[in-house]
Amino acid sequence: MSLMKSKLALLGATALLLVGAVNAQGVDKAKNMKLEGYSDLQGRTAYQPTIQKQGDRWIAYVGHHGDNKLNPLNGKMEDNGTSIIDVTDVKHPKYLYHVPGDVGKAEQGGSQMVRVCSGATLPKADKSKFYMLRTFGNQAHEIWDVSTPENPTLLTTIAKGLNGTHKNFWECDTGIAYLVSGNPQWRTNRMTQIYDLSDPAKPVFIRDFGLVGQQPGSSGAVPVDLHGAISTGPKGNRVYFGYGTNGNGVIQIVDREKLLNGPKDPTPENLLYPEVSRTYMPTMNGAHTTFPLLGVEIPEFSKNLLGAKRDFIVVTNEAIQKECLEGRQMVWVVDATNEKHPFGVSNWGLPEKKEGYCSKGGRFGTHSSNENMTDVFYKKLMFITYFNAGVRALDVRDPFSPKEVGYFVPAMNKNTVVLETPASQRGKLPFTEASNRKVIQTNNVDVDERGYIYIVDRANTGMHILSVTGPARDIANWNAAVK
């Protein structure tokens, strides 16, 4: 080998070592998942990541819980809002812009939820533009023009004067948006306001929706708050609503056409009209995320006359309390092949005793799953955030028996903080010194069409961009441009 070739080989090996060293800094432990890139998100506590292809670029939009942090891009202290990051080169994410949110800590402020649609898919939008739907604290929903991610501009405020917001869903092909809101006239801080945002500059209100007992003028006990919805659009004609987070969960399957075009006055009869079925979770568990897994072919049943292809809902609970001072929050799989009579067929949870997670600090238990139904992973792999246990990759090819095939647990860094115990909980539960321990808190996850996985941290640790490796990659049959 020539001297020049030797030097080039040495430089290449050194570069690989440097990349490996940088990546290793963000890893506590991992199996069949690899760290590809990282953004510190300006040290802000994070909730929802959403990834959008914009021309030749891939842009990540991250919604934040409330806090007040320095924005190094302009030297100003800003209330947490929405981070915009160029992730075209996942190994070198570039932080582009921070859109400030509402004043307040945790879920009282910030701008937790964010969705993005291309004007090319929205029926009445400017085809050259991109639009961001986001919450503004608990009081409003906004639309921003993010065609130039480095310079977003507020387009319109859809609804304001609300008592609550949370996990919205936006159909980019129709423009229909299911906004988690707290209409002051309703008896709950989280119900559904449905808008036609096919022309984002001109929102059109369709209706309010919720469980009977939440509507204005009703009496008696108020049903559990909505958490969020996932729609299959006009083709699937179903909307899957999840109510409750860590208790009294309700899974509601709704006929989308009846919901949008049926009678809209919120009478008990009209609220029940679009409902296909309702399933109640155990009282100690909620329905944070209700992810439809439809048309799954079950190899074991391939020779059966009936039931070889089935529909499921993957329900993920949210762990709320530190030190496991609640019911164990897990993943539940509901068979909804017969929509009128859904029933549970399996569950999955990470054993606590494996590493003494309940005493490790922070929350332990599930929180959310990915919601992007990209072909790379759909009906093959799902990714479940587990707070102090990072993110777990589940093989869901057989929903009757989900299996863990990988995990990634980020390492703490200089930005990681102790997750604050809400004042409303202090003195009411038997917390120990473990509740004051600093630990990562992997909060939410989503994926993009290239096959990258994005996890964000509630305890300020940042955003980690991951890929699957080994057997997990084989399950995905991943043909993405990841080498």
CB 391, CB 35: distance < 8 Å:
no
- The average pLDDT across 9-15 equals 43
pLDDT in tens, 72-131: 999 999 999 999 999 999 999 999 999 999 999 998 999 999 999 999 999 999 999 999
% of the chain with per-residue pLDDT over 70: 94
pLDDT in tens, 13-22: 444 444 444 4
This prediction has a pTM of 0.94
Closest CA to 36 of 60, 54, 12: 60
Mean pLDDT (the chain) is: 94
pLDDT in tens, 325-353: 999 999 999 999 999 999 999 999 999 99
What's the confidence (pLDDT) of residue 25? 65
- The average pLDDT across 219-234 equals 97
What's the confidence (pLDDT) of residue 444? 98
CA angle in degrees (0–180, nearest 5) for 425-427-428:
60
What's the confidence (pLDDT) of residue 423? 72
- The average pLDDT across 137-144 equals 98
- The average pLDDT across 302-311 equals 97
What's the confidence (pLDDT) of residue 13? 43
Sheet holding 204-209, edge to edge: 169-170, 176-181, 191-196, 204-209
Tell me how crowded residue 327 is: count the other CB atoms within 10 A of its CB: 17
Distances (CA, A) of 308 to 262, 299, 301, 339, 347: 34, 7, 5, 16, 20
- The average pLDDT across 362-375 equals 97
